[in-house]
Structure 1
Amino acid sequence: MKRIAILKYFLQVFLSMSLLSACNYLEVIPPEQANLDDTMKDANAVRNFLYSCYNGVENTITMDNPSVDETTNSIELNSGLQKLSYNQLSSSVIDYGYWHNAYNAIGQCHLFLQQLEKSNPLGVDEAMKTQYRAEVNFLIAYYHFRLLVDYGPIPIIDHFMSMATPVSEIPGRSHFDYVVDFICKKCDEAATDLPAYRTTSEWGRATSSICYALKARLLLYAASDLWNGSFPYKDWKNKNYETPGYGKELVSNSYEPEKWRRALEACDYALKWAEDNGGNKLLLVDNMPSRVANLKDPYIPENSDEDFVAHVKLMSLVLQSTPDEGNFEYLWGIVPYVAIGFWSPLPLNIIERNGSWVSGYSQMAPTLYTIEHFCTKNGKLPENDEKFVDKSDWLKSAGVSGRSDIINLCVGREPRFYAWMAFDGGEYTQQLVNGRSLQLNMKSSSKQGRSPQVNRNYSPTGFLSKKFVEPDLNFTSESSGEGNNVNYPIPLFRLAELYLNRAECYAALDMTKEALADINTIRRRAGVLELKESDLDVMPLMDWIRNERFVELWGEGHRYYDVRRWMIAPERLKAGAREGLNVLAKYDPSFDEFNVRTKINQPFMWDNRMYILPVYADEVYSNPQMIQAPGY
């Protein structure tokens, strides 16, 4: 019989090469071995061991985006994410998921705690030990959270498990609400011994502000439809394993309004704590990083209003600046894997060097749904704005002087649209090529359009994204590699999310005034007109909040979970729902051939089993306590 995967991966450890002189420590090291003791010999070794516990923290952006309705990649890329969106995953074919990495990281955390308890490292006092324990307990909570939202009810690993652990003691799935309570308790306990913020040299390590933000997001998810009485598989239960107080039940089948009140309390506390104690604040026009002075004005078709331009610059810097520059919006972030994270959204044929083109991959391509759901300059959705061009003319030329390729849909939009989206005839950042902007030609195979010379690198929608690209990125004819790229962190938690989380709770509890105040805080910062109660006659409050969340947090890894917890995935992710422009019509299409609303030619589909991910077949085969996700 194969060893249970959850135990195997729990017991494997990622002790880094900087910790150990040997390279064979991917397998279990019994505590009595000297090399493991070396990880606790002094303060430096302990810190290195502590940092290794963060290895499981992953970039949630490139992982989750292409599987939802925000973006898509070319079909030729054939990634695990695409297979997920095609409903091609199974218990034996899993090209996507966090199961092994997360349980691996949890095992590393418990090993750290075990060794810390029995060691007296040189230069480590009790106060330091207390904080290290809190950091690692937060990470245990975070990894369980990531597993819970991907896989639904999961096994809780709350202590170190040796190789001699009997199979009968390996846990099965615990009830969803029980896991929620476990994570919340871990967050609360860790927060009491962690600082509210970190100095620059320690930024990225756990804080109490991050603990409370994680708890708030978790309880928001738990209050949402999917996990609050509407899970589609009512009879999905454990066969053997029982959760204390819940028996074999895994998901509650009745709606509990108290979950929204609990979520609101947590969201309110997290936001106030971050602002009052964590030093977090929204980046605003009047406190932009000083380098904005050297940032050229972006091209905005038929709009040169000074305040509008300032807000476009502001929103282009929200994710492309650091606390050192005065941006305190991030609570927690991670530096992405540069080779993919940097090049993925960039256009083709940026600059020619030594006879060859420097090119991005043109992936993370925004869908038409994305383009249509940013607001107009009047603060409304294009389809609801009486002053915006009629929908039948959206894909026609806007007649912009010298830019006839720009369509009506891309004119008269809000600042975030011009900060984060890129379109045919527009420009891709202000200083990209030798200090000048790059005007996009998404139709030409010799420019930024699909080319027979490049098999998989092209935008399948006809649009590009630049949210994760520095507005002052510059490639020169003489420079090499990534130009002047700084590789800014990707957000895992930022303050804008906390406002939107609380707004959603207010709306669920019919607290309209409070919800509007929070959503308007985000809109006002972005240079978008504030909502009034009269706007709720056009679109319900919750729909406004969901759309604002879609826009503000676009591409940051939230949408995958939002469409599921709101249970709108069957509509938003079904076959035929994703659209773009007619990129595949032909190479070098005309304006009229290119600008046609077209269903993206990929086998997207939705099945309710896709609400959660499957676990590996070995988990179920080898562990009598474990059951598979429904439908797999």
Structure 2
Amino acid sequence: MRLKDKIKKVTGIALLSTCCCMTSCDYLDVVPPEQATLGDAVTTTEGTLGFLYSCYAGIKGLNNPISFTSIEAASTDEYALPIGYGKIGQLAGWNTITAANNTEAWKWGKCYQFIGQCYLFLSQLPQAQAVSEAQKQEWAAEANFLIAYYHFLVLAYNGPCPLTDSYIDMETPNNEYHGRYHFDYVVNWIAMKLDEAAKDLPASRNGTEWGRATSVIAKAVKARMLLYAASPLWNGNFPYPDWKNKNFETPGYGKELVSLEYDPSKWERALAACKEALEMAETEGGCSLMTLEQGESMRKKQDINYPYLPVDDVTEKFKQHVMLMRYVVTSRYNDGNREMLWGLWDSGDMENAGLPLNVVQQNSGQWKSGYSAIAPFLNTVERFYTKNGKKPSLDPAFAKEDAWFESAQIADHADIIKLNANREPRFYAWLSFDGDEYCNKLCSGKPLVIDLKKTTGQGYVRNSQNYPATGYLCKKYIQPDLNWANDNSSNYRGYPRPLIRLAELYLNLAECQAETGNTEATLSTLNVIRERAGVPALTESDITPEMPLIEWVRNERFIELWGEGHRYYDARRWMIAPQVFAAGVRMGLNIEEKENPAFEELNKPVQIKQNYVWNNRLYLGPIFINEVYKNPQMVQAPEY
């Protein structure tokens, strides 16, 4: 049984706590009054394990970074959702999240809710019956890992935050609630917590245990956190130097919340943690990047032909790389995928959101459709490399920029523009466009060729919330052999979506190597990812004023981790959000102007008609206003 299903099955274990020291009285009010019943949850092995599974449930919902509606995805320069959706991520991108809105500001509350759940579990674990001491030790480590992870989620989104190191009774006076601790103090506490948990966790899991905490996952979370902490936002460039606590003090830091001096040792510390995480993953954890051979094996098993690719002199190996990069995020551990360290089981939302409109006409006459909602910006399209491994604007062998939106003049494929021809394998694996062969078997066993110029195809339909707002589509999370039949049946299987992937560990390390001045090591690390993706290796001659080393690192991260929930935090920590998330910079094709546009009318770059804007207050997420009212130690994020 999958972890997701086990969480659902645990009906006897309610969320026994939705509070801890910094939460509002609204949370305290819903704690079950009969605390003696907690003991009933640990009278059997299955009951105790179910209690533990309930602690994992907080990763879903608002804390799920790979949901297409999450803050982490829908508010960036990766893709647009239709304007009518009005999802949380869009509100962040539009700078309309407020501290008074419970839903949009409640990431904080949900995390602390499940921190409280973890401490309740730990309080009952010693009395658990039919559970060995070895199991208790491991399960306690899982709960402590989750406590650290939930704190990290708050730290990444909200910045300096309270620490909860034990269960806080609902009778605790308000004046004993913790305030925000200094950012560096929180980082050190979480790192310590992760290291302690790792000692008692297995390095890997498989079968029904896959998805539960491991020592490798703990080290990977620590590495990501220390990378964030070394980055400009938290390492000497915080834009609100006067933001401090009023009543609460952090030991050793006083009322300060963020260090304002650059500290190069933070990069050295992050470098060591990234090395440790990667080495541990590839040794004790048994992790490895997927290979061409694995991809080919899966393609043949699923009896899929290679898609049409608008690439000059395309090779068999290039085609194999395209298919491989599709399988990287649409395969399981038992398929041989050892690349995904930690994943969250997909509910089907990413499939429905990404799939095109008008896929196949059913026997009833109705069309079976997706939402066409995940629409990559031209900003994304222009960041993916050409087949030569360079950005289109910097590749002298690629089409000139003033000709990008002209037809590539490919026989039988006249709809494909020059910008979409001769691109790298990940471009064709994860993005889709007018004239593209979306999936080989999608249309009742036949390929679906995208037609964005017709409303009877996949084009824009007025007064519809479901349409590709930028003129591009996403296929990153779509299983390659997906088949929607005329009788409304489907072979959809579902896959875990990546919370942590081995490729991230390489990219984390490369960034630390670049920031500590080791060019040779940086290129070597980046080339592991590039070569696996079928992109030519970088050399020192590729480092230019237009594309310095750190920009190669950041652009590689943008491409490889596209749509996996990283971009929101990356742009903030690098402090490039004022440029890449600014008003007026998110572009797409002219799909919304009219129904059934001509080729020239569609293929015209335009600003996306949504109120995207950046304000520096977005460097921190707000906390629900009641948290400030009810906790005299709490200070709100600046400008909320």
Question: TM-score, length-normalised on structure 2?
Answer: 0.93
Larger CA deviation: 71-80 vs 607-616: 71-80
Q: 1:261 to 1:477 in 2, by over 3 A?
A: same
- Choose from 23, 29, 32 the match for 1:29: 32
State how far apart, in whole Å, the 2-side matches of 1:627 and 1:391 are.
49
State how far apart, in whole Å, the 1-side matches of 2:262 and 2:7 are.
44
| 1:31, distance to aligned residue in structure 2 (A) | 6.7
Deviation per residue, 1:192-241 (Å, 9 max, x gap): 00000002221000000000000000000000000001010000000000
Matched with 1:366 is: 376
State how far apart, in whole Å, the 1-side matches of 2:110 and 2:9 are.
18
| 1:21, distance to aligned residue in structure 2 (A) | 8.8
State how far apart, in whole Å, the 2-side matches of 1:479 and 1:100 are.
41
Deviation per residue, 1:432-475 (Å, 9 max, x gap): 112111011112111100113x5110011000010011111111
Matched with 2:136 is: 129
- Choose from 332, 339, 345 the match for 1:329: 339
Deviation per residue, 1:387-422 (Å, 9 max, x gap): 101000000000111111110000000000110110
State how far apart, in whole Å, the 2-side matches of 1:106 and 1:393 are.
54
Does the aligned pair in 1 maintain the 2:227–2:512 contact within 8 Å?
yes
| 1:89, distance to aligned residue in structure 2 (A) | 1.2
State how far apart, in whole Å, the 2-side matches of 1:289 and 1:184 are.
40
State how far apart, in whole Å, the 1-side matches of 2:151 and 2:214 are.
17
- Secondary structure of 1:333's counterpart equals strand
| 1:29, distance to aligned residue in structure 2 (A) | 3.1
Matched with 1:18 is: 10
1:245 pairs with 2:276: no
- Choose from 536, 539, 542 the match for 1:532: 539
| 1:287, distance to aligned residue in structure 2 (A) | 2.7
Does the aligned pair in 2 maintain the 1:582–1:598 contact within 8 Å?
yes
Does the aligned pair in 2 maintain the 1:343–1:361 contact within 8 Å?
yes
**Match of 1:160, as an amino acid?**
Y
Deviation per residue, 1:458-503 (Å, 9 max, x gap): 01100001001111111111243xx111110110001000000000
Aligned length: 612
1:516 pairs with 2:526: no
Q: Structure 1: give runs of 5+ residues left out of the alignment.
A: 1-13
- Choose from 52, 55, 62 the match for 1:53: 55
State how far apart, in whole Å, the 1-side matches of 2:326 and 2:467 are.
23
1:187 pairs with 2:194: yes
Matched with 1:393 is: 403
Does the aligned pair in 2 maintain the 1:80–1:96 contact within 8 Å?
yes
Matched with 2:420 is: 410
- Choose from 548, 553, 566 the match for 1:545: 553
| 1:331, distance to aligned residue in structure 2 (A) | 0.5
| 1:289, distance to aligned residue in structure 2 (A) | 6.7
State how far apart, in whole Å, the 2-side matches of 1:301 and 1:290 are.
24
Does the aligned pair in 1 maintain the 2:442–2:483 contact within 8 Å?
yes
Does the aligned pair in 2 maintain the 1:65–1:72 contact within 8 Å?
no
Does the aligned pair in 1 maintain the 2:295–2:320 contact within 8 Å?
no
State how far apart, in whole Å, the 1-side matches of 2:13 and 2:114 are.
21
| 1:17, distance to aligned residue in structure 2 (A) | 6.8
**Match of 1:605, as an amino acid?**
V
Does the aligned pair in 2 maintain the 1:19–1:39 contact within 8 Å?
no
State how far apart, in whole Å, the 2-side matches of 1:608 and 1:23 are.
36
1:236 pairs with 2:243: yes
Matched with 1:586 is: 594
Matched with 1:629 is: 637
| 1:173, distance to aligned residue in structure 2 (A) | 0.5
State how far apart, in whole Å, the 2-side matches of 1:290 and 1:17 are.
35
**Match of 1:565, as an amino acid?**
R
**Match of 2:585, as an amino acid?**
A
1:617 pairs with 2:625: yes
Larger CA deviation: 375-384 vs 58-67: 58-67
| 1:302, distance to aligned residue in structure 2 (A) | 3.9
State how far apart, in whole Å, the 2-side matches of 1:17 and 1:323 are.
23
Matched with 1:468 is: 477
State how far apart, in whole Å, the 2-side matches of 1:230 and 1:24 are.
41
The 5-angstrom pairing of residues 63-462 of structure 1 reads: 63=70, 64-97=72-105, 98-117=107-126, 119=127, 121-288=128-295, 290-293=297-300, 294-303=303-312, 304-338=314-348, 340-353=349-362, 354-452=364-462, 455-462=464-471
| 1:336, distance to aligned residue in structure 2 (A) | 2.7
State how far apart, in whole Å, the 2-side matches of 1:386 and 1:617 are.
53
Does the aligned pair in 2 maintain the 1:299–1:430 contact within 8 Å?
no
| 1:125, distance to aligned residue in structure 2 (A) | 1.3
Could you say what the CA RMSD is over the residues aligned between the two structures, in angstroms? 1.7
Deviation per residue, 1:284-309 (Å, 9 max, x gap): 10233733102221110145410100
1:596 pairs with 2:598: no
Does the aligned pair in 1 maintain the 2:325–2:426 contact within 8 Å?
yes
Matched with 1:9 is: none
- Secondary structure of 2:115's counterpart equals helix
Larger CA deviation: 280-289 vs 505-514: 280-289
State how far apart, in whole Å, the 2-side matches of 1:631 and 1:489 are.
38
State how far apart, in whole Å, the 2-side matches of 1:626 and 1:23 are.
25
Deviation per residue, 1:118-163 (Å, 9 max, x gap): x1x3321111100011000000000000000000001111100111
Does the aligned pair in 2 maintain the 1:50–1:136 contact within 8 Å?
yes
Q: 1:312 to 1:22 in 2, by over 3 A?
A: closer
Q: 1:401 to 1:16 in 2, by over 3 A?
A: closer
| 1:369, distance to aligned residue in structure 2 (A) | 0.9
State how far apart, in whole Å, the 2-side matches of 1:333 and 1:17 are.
19
State how far apart, in whole Å, the 2-side matches of 1:127 and 1:484 are.
41
* Runs ≥4 residues deviating over 4 A: 14-17, 21-26
Q: Structure 2: give runs of 5+ residues left out of the alignment.
A: 1-5, 19-29
**Match of 1:100, as an amino acid?**
G
- Secondary structure of 1:100's counterpart equals helix
**Match of 2:284, as an amino acid?**
N
State how far apart, in whole Å, the 1-side matches of 2:637 and 2:436 are.
46
**Match of 2:94, as an amino acid?**
Y
Q: 1:205 to 1:17 in 2, by over 3 A?
A: closer
State how far apart, in whole Å, the 1-side matches of 2:207 and 2:8 are.
23
Q: 1:94 to 1:71 in 2, by over 3 A?
A: farther
| 1:30, distance to aligned residue in structure 2 (A) | 5.0
State how far apart, in whole Å, the 2-side matches of 1:109 and 1:24 are.
10
Matched with 1:5 is: none
- Secondary structure of 1:295's counterpart equals coil
Does the aligned pair in 2 maintain the 1:210–1:331 contact within 8 Å?
yes
The 5-angstrom pairing of residues 477-496 of structure 1 reads: 477-480=486-489, 483-496=490-503
Does the aligned pair in 1 maintain the 2:229–2:266 contact within 8 Å?
yes
